């Protein structure tokens, strides 16, 4: 009767076992610890699993601080060599790979009908020698205008310049990525170039920058004269306007970039090109510039470059050094240990450790979210250690009895494994604590996340993931962070961590079902504080956490109930 009652209450689900052929079980065993069935509480976790506080005192931090030598390393000056051997730089562009520069199609010829023949990189002063040591002068192999561009029209004003030799990335020269959002950023953007600093003035020999804001289509139409011959369809979605009360892009800035910056997981600041300078009103206070929206031409650019330019591909295959750097909250966890995060597996043909996460909390139990185990029509059959590929079958899935599919409350589940954690390895469970984080020696909480591994162009695979943690210091005036705004998120069952960072989109993903953990800085014991909720949007937004503390009594009632196991062994 006891076994039957347990199945009814905890909704046990049995799944088939799974193993990888030829794989050794380095961290798990079929043999239970000698006192496994005598254990009465999970409170003994620190002394049971972490008797030596110095064992895991060494940590590996993801990335390192990079030197910052130039503000706009992707800026290119496009030049025309005169008969006398001088070079006139009349257009700008942005380096988006080691071989290609993004610019405007109308920069294909100068006023005399001649094509540009050279590009200057890594130089912020075109008349002085101060940057000559780092500057690169590279010939142009081809100028590729968009196939639908017509000089008599203002549409499709975008082009790519193929360089004769690859640019060398260093502290002065580095590629940019493309802003691929459907909408233009509403924040202020920066436009850069060597153009005139005012109407009727000469081109600037030094690189200039100006801060501009996007203007909607209606405002653009009102302020920028439109020629029906040049723009029969008016302003189209592939264009946008930007300006300010005090400055704008001017003559000579054509083809140059307007951009925003986003932070990569290692803290490097990556420029994202939103548009290229097309044309505008005469340069003066309150003037307006018209820009070609680069995201509209992603397919064409990828076809010309013969490789993807999405955020992940661009940032993970770049060999840039010396970008600007800010402190990053994101780190790569130590390979030394302790390792307690595992992944869930559904498909034996695709061993992906990052579809959903879970946390080891005992010799043979892991905790995850109920929404994770119900993610697909079939239940997950195994857990996997992402760093070794070792898998262990799931014998039973226990969903919290009050959970209802699609609802946020009680989104927690337990996984009973087919094997036990071995003693004396770096795979160990995280402990549970009934105390609030402000009652312990905890400085910050680490939220489980993942992203694509850095690689070169030849070996790059978008689904080659590695694990990260986002380290967040909870608000001082809140017990476990900020209160979740959604009333469905009960203050007892959930808490939120305030996290607002302008990360590059898609390079970091939340590890739903994975751990929100913290280490006691005096005892070096990892504690599981929560489970990453599926309602958390991304790595740069507030994190919604299922509060494990509220479920410890239920967890113990399941983990420490060995009635059915004793019946089997008797």
Catalytically annotated residues: 106, 157, 254
Q: Phi and psi for 413 in degrees, rounded to 5?
A: -150, 155
Q: Where are the beta strands (DSSP E) in 122-246?
A: 136-145, 159-163, 177-178, 189-193, 208-215, 239-243
DSSP string, 40-82: --STTHHHHH---TTTT-----SS-PPP---S-TTEEEEEEE-
Other residues' Cβ atoms within 10 Å of the Cβ of residue 551? 19
Give which of 311, 264, 318, 354 is closest to 539, Cα–Cα.
264
Cα angle 202, 174, 261; round to 5 = 80
Burial class for 496, CB neighbours closer than 10 Å (0-12, 13-18, 19+): buried
Burial of 453 (0-12, 13-18, 19+ CB in 10 A): middle
DSSP secondary structure, 236-268, as one string: -TTEEEEE-SS----TT-TT-EEEEEEE-TTSB
Alpha helices in 247-366 (DSSP H): 298-305, 311-316
Q: Which of 348, 275, 310 is nearest to 460 (CA)?
A: 310
Q: What is the dihedral of CA 56, 429, 382, 372, to 10 degrees?
A: -110
Q: Radius of gyration (Cα) for the chain, nearest Å?
A: 29
The CB density around residue 40, as the number of other CB atoms within 10 Å, is 8
Cβ atoms 44, 429 nearer than 8 A: no
Q: What is the total residue count of the chain?
A: 570
Query: Two tokens at 292?
Result: 């070609």
* Distance from C-alpha of 284 to C-alpha of 242, rounded to nearest angstrom: 14
Q: Residue holding tokens 């699609």?
A: 406
């Amino acid at each position: 009767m006891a076994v039957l009652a347990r199945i009814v209450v905890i909704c046990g689900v049995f799944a088939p076992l799974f193993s990888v052929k030829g794989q050794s079980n380095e961290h798990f065993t079929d043999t239970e610890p000698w006192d496994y069935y005598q254990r009465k509480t999970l409170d003994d976790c620190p002394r049971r699993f972490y008797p030596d506080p110095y064992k895991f005192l060494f940590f590996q931090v993801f990335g390192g601080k990079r030197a910052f030598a130039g503000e706009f390393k992707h800026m290119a000056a496009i030049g025309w060599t005169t008969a006398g051997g001088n070079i006139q730089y009349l257009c700008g562009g942005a380096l988006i790979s080691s071989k290609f520069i993004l610019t405007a199609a109308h920069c294909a010829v100068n006023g005399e009908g001649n094509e540009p023949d050279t590009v200057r990189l890594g130089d912020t002063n075109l008349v002085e020698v101060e940057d000559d040591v780092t500057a690169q002068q590279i010939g142009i192999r081809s100028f590729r205008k968009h196939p639908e561009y017509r000089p008599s029209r203002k549409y499709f004003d975008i082009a790519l310049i193929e360089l004769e030799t690859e640019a060398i990335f260093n502290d002065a020269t580095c590629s940019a990525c493309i802003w691929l959002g459907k909408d233009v950023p509403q924040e202020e953007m920066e436009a850069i170039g060597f153009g005139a600093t005012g109407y009727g003035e000469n081109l600037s020999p030094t690189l200039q920058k100006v801060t501009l804001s996007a203007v909607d289509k209606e405002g653009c139409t009102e302020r920028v004269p439109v020629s029906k011959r040049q723009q029969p369809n008016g302003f189209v979605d592939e264009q946008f306007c930007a300006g300010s009360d005090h400055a704008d892009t001017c003559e000579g800035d054509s083809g140059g970039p307007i951009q925003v910056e986003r932070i990569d997981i290692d803290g490097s600041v990556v420029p994202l090109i939103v548009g290229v300078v097309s044309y505008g009103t005469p340069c003066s206070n309150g003037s307006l510039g018209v820009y070609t929206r680069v995201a509209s031409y992603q397919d064409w650019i990828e076809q010309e470059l013969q490789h993807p330019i999405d955020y992940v591909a661009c940032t993970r295959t770049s060999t840039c050094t010396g970008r600007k750097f800010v402190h990053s909250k994101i780190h790569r966890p130590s390979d030394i240990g302790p390792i307690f995060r595992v992944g869930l597996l559904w498909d034996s043909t695709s061993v992906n450790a990052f579809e959903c996460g879970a946390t080891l909390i005992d010799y043979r139990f892991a905790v995850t979210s109920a929404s994770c185990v119900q993610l697909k029509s079939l239940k997950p059959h195994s857990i996997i250690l992402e760093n070794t590929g070792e898998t262990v079958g799931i014998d039973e899935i226990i969903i919290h009895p009050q959970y209802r599919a699609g609802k946020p409350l009680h989104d927690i589940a337990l996984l009973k494994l087919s094997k036990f954690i071995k003693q004396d390895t770096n795979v160990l469970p995280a402990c549970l604590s009934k105390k609030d984080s402000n009652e312990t020696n905890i400085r910050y909480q680490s939220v489980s996340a993942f992203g694509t591994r850095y690689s070169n162009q030849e070996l790059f695979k978008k689904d080659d993931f590695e694990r990260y943690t986002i380290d967040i210091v909870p608000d001082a005036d809140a017990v476990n962070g900020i209160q979740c705004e959604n009333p469905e998120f009960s203050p007892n069952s959930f808490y939120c961590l305030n996290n607002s960072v302008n990360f590059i989109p898609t390079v970091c993903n939340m590890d739903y079902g994975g751990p929100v953990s913290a280490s006691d800085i005096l005892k070096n014991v990892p504690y599981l504080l929560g489970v990453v909720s599926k309602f958390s949007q991304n790595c740069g937004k507030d994190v919604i956490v299922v509060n494990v503390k509220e479920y410890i009594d239920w967890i113990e009632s399941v983990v420490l109930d060995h009635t059915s196991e004793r019946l089997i062994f008797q």
